[in-house]
Structure 1
């Protein structure tokens, strides 16, 4: 927000105020135009304001600060409205900054400086990396020699920065200032004549260009953010999880009457939600909403989701579509908990169910987290059940409600009366409104038997593999790395027809790749089937897609997270039958009647500059 208050906000007319959420600050600064390009400086105005994300001047000169951390971990308070008002007393502050050649000038709001003894500047310059990963450490950090040469006072100290309102300042010589860097400057020893110290002694200046001071000599320009190769990826902490509501939140579900939106309790009717456009929740808002049922089937698994209920809300989470953990507005109930209270395991036709050990439901309209670990029933080769299903653990908001509870039959109202080794995840949606978010499943799958599998990589080199388009492919510690320009890496053999192929993959944030099979060697984009590898790149087809044939828009795997791909490709009478599994769960089961690609290589794609694909444990079994 630009200060155009006519002095109602103090001596900062024409400067901008900027919200900074994480550290709860409001900053103040000014832009400078250098030969058509803008740069400028910034200094703290007020600290510990709260999670400020928006600022706006009111007519009386008050700066209004809108607070919300949106779950990003900002400074407390996390939400609300704060205000910053001028007391009428002019502070001793940095008023303006000018950089030219090897000279920095700093103006102050006081009419004159106090003692000149001890005046000094500390100047550090640095740049940073522009890459796909969020954030960058400071790079090329250099302490620059600086000395204060003189002070000044009087009207018109710096015409370019309209400093007629400011009466004093200093000039310093700084060696080694370089365009394309940020200057972090501390001004030390500055006081007003009455001894008032400088309120904020540090400022930052983004030096995209360094004017020479000579109008005949053009300024030198360079970007502060440097385009570099992506950094080594951090582990995301999400390995093994499948995120079923990220991206296309409805894409992996069979449902009717559910909507992706933002939801909060309706204060006029607390039995309902108010919804508005957004992506914070999935809500059963339709007049005839159905259960929310996953397209994929799961067995042994850990499950995580968030849920919110209105007053008198009633829903449930059915594991495998059969075994229900109840979701109910049971706020305030402290005794005589029953299986029908929130967190209870609901009864079957003969089994009485089990009440939760505690009431973990806090209040209607509040988000809660449900975490459960489940073991599917066991069956012998003839299909006879040999072991009942079990809830190994059930938690709400980290409160343990159940541990090692055997469930001998499906819940009343289950999707299926008969038990099985696999089934879908279901959220009940036909009782009252319910809001859910961030649904994840961690499937527990047995390891593949080693019989018949052959390694595609020797673990140390790319011997025999072919690289297209002068690509940048290498092997480090058994991991294939693909980066740099667009290219593909092709297996030594190019005659694979019927097979299973598997591997572990990790794609960078903003990266894009593909696991090709039955593909043809050559430059450009090769012909062949492709199991897409994409978490956050703009292409709407994400990991789990059979590219251009069976698309998937849900971000099942976050960036920088290892996952397992298993592809089966077999010719059958009706066409080429392709199945694709992620972490042991089938997401594609498709027969291509056109038999588009008859045989070929296994290949990996490096899609674009800035992307990084990593692959390891590549094995194939011909059928």
Structure 2
């Protein structure tokens, strides 16, 4: 019996000492163990200024023609005007959209509200940028104009108001840098992951990786419906003389 108790005591002491021994023994990795060299990161040449397109960007509008767009209504050449390096909405002629489709993307676009101020709220310098033709980043003269906050400039329309109002005065150029992750659907058309978007307005973060609840709806609750992985970017004709310039996109 004494032999058994003695053996048991030795075992308990050994087990009790194990954590202490483990703490005292440090397993050191060389720095190289957590370094890797492949795949080599692809080189992209930045634009001369941050607003200028990098070397891998797709130029959608360079200020000279609407050759990369079609009318959303007719599928033919758009009737918006091009002058002084900018395109301007032709009220009543309808939305325009890119010929190419896009999913995950980095989009740079500059816009200005009309100098002549007319109307108030949603009736003042209104347009919109529809990512994948479904998800709207609002364009609106919200400089000194009251409207519902989830409908002002840089809102995800009727879903997320911007974190701050970063608008410039009418006639001055605003910049949006938009980082968009497209929604994913399974083979049965069920939503796997919703769209997400980050928006930087005039260099200020105004949408921080927010979840898009579904396609933009003016009335009612948004609900996802399965759609292709890439769809056109649409610019809205809301009846106001909003202008756009320097539009480029990078597929991600």
TM-score range, shorter chain: 0.5 to 0.7
- Paired residues of 2:63 and 2:245 also in contact (CA < 8 A): no
2:244 aligned partner: 436
- Paired residues of 2:92 and 2:239 also in contact (CA < 8 A): no
Question: What is the Cα deviation at residue 339 of structure 1?
Answer: 0.8
How many correspondences in the alignment?
A: 185
Question: What is the Cα deviation at residue 247 of structure 1?
Answer: 6.9
Distance 2:149 2:45 in 1: 41
1:316 aligned partner: 128
Which of 369, 375, 388 matches 2:181?
Answer: 375
Instruction: Tell me: CA distance 1:360–1:407, structure 2 relative to 1, closer, same or farther (3 Å).
Output: same
Q: Any idea what SS the aligned residue of 1:244 has?
A: strand
- Paired residues of 2:185 and 2:226 also in contact (CA < 8 A): no
Higher relative contact order (CA 8 A, sep 6+): 2
Question: What is the Cα deviation at residue 309 of structure 1?
Answer: 0.6
1:406 aligned partner: 211
Distance 1:306 1:434 in 2: 11
- Paired residues of 1:337 and 1:356 also in contact (CA < 8 A): no
Distance 2:173 2:142 in 1: 14
Instruction: Tell me: CA distance 1:248–1:366, structure 2 relative to 1, closer, same or farther (3 Å).
Output: closer
Distance 1:384 1:422 in 2: 17
1:244 aligned partner: 60
Task: Choose between structure 1 and 2: higher helix proportion.
Answer: 2
Give deviations 1:476-506, integer Å, cap 9, x for gaps.
Answer: xxxxxxxxxxxxxxxxxxxxxxxxxxxxxxx
Map 1:258-273 → 2, pairs under 5 A: 258-262=80-84
Give deviations 1:334-385, integer Å, cap 9, x for gaps.
Answer: x9971111111112xxxxx111111111211111111110000012233322
Distance 1:236 1:372 in 2: 17
Distance 1:407 1:284 in 2: 26
Task: Choose between structure 1 and 2: higher strand proportion.
Answer: 1
Question: What is the Cα deviation at residue 419 of structure 1?
Answer: 4.1
Question: What is the Cα deviation at residue 248 of structure 1?
Answer: 5.4
Aligned alpha-carbon RMSD (Å): 2.5
Tell me if 1:282 matches 2:79: no
Give deviations 1:487-535, integer Å, cap 9, x for gaps.
Answer: xxxxxxxxxxxxxxxxxxxxxxxxxxxxxxxxxxxxxxxxxxxxxxxxx
Ranges in structure 1 where 5+ consecutive residues have no aligned partner? 1-233, 263-279, 348-352, 445-623
Tell me if 1:361 matches 2:167: yes
Give deviations 1:308-354, integer Å, cap 9, x for gaps.
Answer: 11132111111011111111111136x9971111111112xxxxx11
Give deviations 1:238-283, integer Å, cap 9, x for gaps.
Answer: 1321111127521110123301103xxxxxxxxxxxxxxxxx1001
Map 1:224-623 → 2, pairs under 5 A: 235=45, 237=47, 238-246=54-62, 249-255=65-71, 256-262=78-84, 280-285=85-90, 287-310=91-114, 311=117, 312-332=124-144, 338-347=149-158, 353-391=159-197, 393-412=198-217, 418-420=225-227, 421-444=229-252
Structure label with greater radius of gyration? 1
Instruction: Tell me: CA distance 1:289–1:258, structure 2 relative to 1, closer, same or farther (3 Å).
Output: same
Ranges in structure 2 where 5+ consecutive residues have no aligned partner? 1-43, 48-53, 72-77, 118-123, 219-223
Distance 1:419 1:339 in 2: 25
Distance 1:290 1:250 in 2: 14
Question: What is the Cα deviation at residue 432 of structure 1?
Answer: 1.1
Distance 1:398 1:419 in 2: 33
